[in-house]
Structure 1
Amino acid sequence: MELISIIITSLLLFFAVYGFILVLAGATYKTKNVTPRTLTSIKILLPAYKPDQTFLQVLESVRKAKKNHPVDVFILFQEANQDIVQSAEKFGFDFEQKRFDHLSGNSYRHVLQYLCNHHLDENTHEYMLILDKDNIVDEAFFDHLAKTSLTDYHIIQGARKPLQTTEGIQLFDAISERYNDLMLRKGKLQLGGALEISGSAAVIKTNLFKYAIKQMDEEAPGYDKNFMVKLLTGPVKLRTLFEDALIVREEKTTEINNYQSQRLRWFGEQYFNAFYNSKSLIKAAFLQGKFRSFDYLITLIRPPRSLQLVGSGLLAASDLIDLNFGYLSLPFFFNAVSFGIVAVPAMKLHQVKRLIIGLNKVLFSNVIASVTCLKKKYRNTFIHTR
Structure 2
Amino acid sequence: MVDWARIRDSRFEVDRVPALLAQLERRDDADAWRELAWRLVLEDDLVFPAGFAALPWLVRLAPRSAQARGLAGRILERAAGHHACDAQLADCAGTIAEFGKVLDRHLRSRPTDYLVSFRALLAVAQEYHWANALEGFTDDIYELECPHCSAGMKIAVGGFGCYSQVWDGDQELRRELRPAVAEELTGTGRWMHRIAVRDGQTVLADGIAHLFGEAECPVCASIFNVADEYAHANRPALRFAPAESLPSADDAAQPCSDREPGPRDDEPRQVPGMPCDICDHEIVRWTHRPNEAAEHWSCPWCYAVTSFDSPQVSRPGYMPPDLRWETASSELLWDASRHAYGYQRRTLCGIEKPDMSGSPYGMWGWLPDDCPDCITMAETIDARWPVDRRDPTHRTSIRDTPAP
Larger C-alpha radius of gyration, 1 or 2? 2
Give the structure-1-normalised TM-score. Answer: 0.25
Structure with more helix by fraction:
1
Q: Greater relative contact order (Cα 8 A, min sep 6): structure 1 or 2?
A: 1
